[in-house]
C-alpha cells in the first residue's frame, strides 16, 4: 500500500491537450510595452503586485503589467527571478515585498497570481489579510496543485531532484511531504480570509492544468476562452481583471459566490 505522503507526489491521471497552448505563441510575440486598455482608464492608481507562474519570472507578466497600467493601476513585480524555489521560502519573500508596497501605498494592495503564483497569492492573503484587498488567480490549481500535465510534472520532478541534491534556491522533494513547507500547504487548504476579495479565473480549454482545480466556489469565478499560458496576455481576460480590481479591490466584505461567467471572445 502506497503511503499517503507519497501519493501526494504522484502525477494525476490527467492529460489535457497541451497543443492548446500553441494559441499563446502569438501573444508572446507582442511587445510588452504596447498594451492598451480597450476603454478609458479606470484611473484609481491602486497598486497591484503580479506573481508569475512555475518556471517563470516577472518578465512573463510584462504584457499584463502594461495592460493594467493603461487601465489606470500601478503594477509591480514580485521580485521572483525564477519561480522554482521552495513554496515556504518564496512566500516569505513575497510577504516582505507586499509589506513594502502596502507601506508605500498607505493601504492594502491587490495580488494577481498566474498558475503557481496564484497559490502564493492565496497563502499570502491568508497570512497577512491586512495587506491585501483582493486576490486574482489566473489558472491556479489551488484545489490540487499537482493536477497538471505530466510534462510539467516531469519538469517539477527534475527540479525537485536537483534541489534535493543540494542546489540552493530550488524546490525539493521534501517540500511536499516534509515539515519545511507544511505551513504553506496548511494555509493553502484553509478557508480564504474574510474581508479580502477573490476572483478565480479559469479556462476549460487549459492545456496545462485541470480547470476544475482552479475554481473556488467561495469567491467570484470567471471563465475565459484563453489558454493557460495565453491567459496573461488575453485582452478580454485582462480587462475583466481590471474591472474586478475596481469592483472588489476594497475587500470591505466577502461577496457571495456567483455563477461562473464567460469572458467574451476578442473581436
pTM of the model: 0.82
Which of 64-73, 153-162, 231-240 shows the lowest per-residue confidence on average (mean pLDDT)? 153-162
Residues 166-214 pLDDT 10s = 777 677 666 665 567 789 999 999 999 999 999 999 999 998 999 999 9
Set of cell numbers at residue 60: 512573463
Strand partners, 114: 138
pLDDT at 251: 46
Query: Is the model's pLDDT at 160 over the cut of 80?
Result: no
Query: Is the model's pLDDT at 76 over the cut of 70?
Result: yes
Q: Which residue would you say has higher pLDDT here, 155 or 58? A: 58
Residues 77-115 pLDDT 10s = 999 888 888 889 999 999 999 999 999 999 999 999 999
Within 8 A by CB and 6+ apart from 88, the residues are 175, 180, 181, 183, 184
CA distance 178 to 6: 11
Concatenating the DSSP letter of every residue in 193-231 gives PTTSEEEEEE-TT-SSB-GGGG--TTSEEEE-SS-TTGG
In this prediction, residues 2-31 reach a mean pLDDT of 57
Q: Which residue would you say has higher pLDDT here, 166 or 29? A: 166
Question: Which domains are seen in the chain, by residue range?
Answer: 4-253 (3.40.50.1820)
pLDDT band at 11 (very low <50, low <70, confident <90, very high): low
Residues 233-257 pLDDT 10s = 999 999 999 999 988 865 433 343 3
Query: Is the model's pLDDT at 3 over the cut of 50?
Result: no
Q: Give Dmax over CA atoms of the chain in angstroms.
A: 60
Amino acid at each position: 500500500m502506497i503511503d499517503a505522503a507519497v501519493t501526494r507526489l504522484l502525477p494525476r491521471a490527467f492529460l489535457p491537450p497541451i497543443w492548446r497552448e500553441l494559441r499563446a505563441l502569438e501573444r508572446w510575440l507582442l511587445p510588452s510595452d504596447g498594451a492598451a486598455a480597450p476603454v478609458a482608464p479606470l484611473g484609481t492608481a491602486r497598486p497591484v503586485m503580479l506573481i508569475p507562474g512555475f518556471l517563470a519570472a516577472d518578465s512573463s507578466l510584462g504584457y499584463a503589467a502594461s495592460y493594467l497600467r493603461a487601465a489606470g493601476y500601478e503594477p509591480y513585480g514580485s521580485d521572483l527571478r525564477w519561480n522554482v524555489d521552495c513554496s515556504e521560502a518564496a512566500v516569505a519573500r513575497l510577504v516582505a515585498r507586499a509589506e513594502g508596497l502596502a507601506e508605500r501605498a498607505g493601504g492594502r494592495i491587490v495580488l494577481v497570481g498566474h498558475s503557481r503564483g496564484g497559490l502564493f497569492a492565496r497563502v499570502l492573503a491568508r497570512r497577512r489579510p491586512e495587506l491585501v484587498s483582493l486576490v486574482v488567480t489566473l489558472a491556479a490549481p489551488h484545489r490540487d496543485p499537482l493536477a497538471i500535465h505530466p510534462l510539467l510534472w516531469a519538469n517539477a520532478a527534475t527540479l525537485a531532484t536537483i534541489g534535493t541534491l543540494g542546489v540552493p534556491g530550488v524546490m525539493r522533494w521534501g517540500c511536499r511531504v516534509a515539515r519545511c513547507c507544511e505551513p504553506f500547504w496548511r494555509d493553502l487548504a484553509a478557508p480564504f480570509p474574510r474581508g479580502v476579495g477573490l476572483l478565480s479565473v479559469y479556462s476549460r480549454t487549459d492545456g496545462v492544468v485541470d480547470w476544475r482545480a482552479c475554481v473556488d466556489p467561495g469567491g467570484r469565478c470567471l471563465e475565459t476562452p484563453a489558454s493557460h499560458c495565453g491567459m496573461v496576455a488575453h485582452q478580454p481576460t485582462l480587462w475583466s481583471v481590471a474591472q474586478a480590481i475596481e469592483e472588489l479591490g476594497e475587500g470591505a466584505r466577502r461577496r457571495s459566490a456567483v455563477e461562473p461567467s464567460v469572458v467574451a471572445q476578442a473581436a
